[in-house]
Amino acid sequence: MTKSGSAPLQHIPVMLEEAVEGLAVKAGGRYLDGTFGRGGHARAVLSRLGPGGRLLLMDRDPQAIAAARTAFADDPRVAIRHDNFSALADWDETAAGLDGVLLDLGVSSPQLDEAARGFSFMADAPLDMRMDPTRGESAAEFLARADEREIADVLWQFGEERQARRIARAIVADREATPFTRTGQLAALIERIVGRREPGKHPATRSFQALRIRVNGELESLQRGLEAALERLNVGGRLSIISFHSLEDRAVKLFIRDHSGRVQGSRRGPPVAAAPARLEAVGKAHFPSDAEQVANPRSRSAVLRVAEKLA
């Protein structure tokens, strides 16, 4: 995230080589990048495809799709769709099967850098936070209608904000006089309630993350997208998924584990028959190198997990 008045961070693909290597790209294979962003990972996949290969690009952000069309509309190997990756199975292009699915989760640098999108508390802007501003409810609309308990639950569940109840109570009290419509307005309230408790970290960080996840239904989209990807992957196809916070990474880790064929359940409970194995983790979780973290501070919290479809 950039500080007010500083130059925007350059959009640098996170763990580019590791994520694309995880796909084990075949020259004639079919691959889907469900979070195109500005195309760093997509370009790397495309460079490994031959004339008979196919690359499917999705993003829920209209600006990302516009960038994809500008860059790749003339390449016969590429198909582009404006949609959430959770709906990948609804795209006829995926019905023939996929040899790999790449997801780079969370908010992108271009979304953060454009203040008008409302993702950042570092510049005052409309309180929107939608990855697709043409659909759904904005953060301002959510805060205008949700009751105190719902707001507190969102801040705690998706942001692990310890002052969730106090913040929610203050939002509900203050919105009667002045609805929350600006990022600066909300950030100032949170700072007033929370204070500067963590050196180097803005007090609104957790709350803004939580609202963004809620507004965009990110965890629900991830679960649906993982299920859809598993169904569309060919045997031997790969999932390559980059997460940026523990809630995402836990969901990915559990999805791979739950489809690995291992026996689940408590040692104290009755034995639980293992379901047939459909996925196998490829190696351990990957983390950005020290050099990458220095070059691209946004990569610091990233985790890459790769899995292969068995059946």
Binding site for S-adenosyl-L-methionine, residues? 39-41, 59, 85, 104, 111
Output Rg (C-alpha) for the chain, integer angstroms: 20
Pairing mode of beta strands 233-243, 54-59 = unpaired
Closest of 184, 280, 185, 189 to residue 236, by C-alpha = 280
Where is the binding site, in residues?
39-41, 59, 85, 104, 111
The DSSP bridge partners found for residue 79 are 56
DSSP labels, the chain = -PPTTSPPPP---TTHHHHHHHHT--TT-EEEES--TTSHHHHHHHTT--TT-EEEEEES-HHHHHHHHHHHTT-TTEEEEES-GGGGGGSGGGTT-EEEEEEE-S--HHHHH-GGG---SSS--BS---SSTTSS--HHHHHHH--HHHHHHHHHHHH--TTHHHHHHHHHHHHTTS---BHHHHHHHHHHHH-S-STTS-TTHHHHHHHHHHHHTHHHHHHHHHHHHHHHEEEEEEEEEEE-SHHHHHHHHHHHHHTTT---S-TTS---PPPPP-EEE-SS-B---HHHHHH-GGGGG-EEEEEEE--
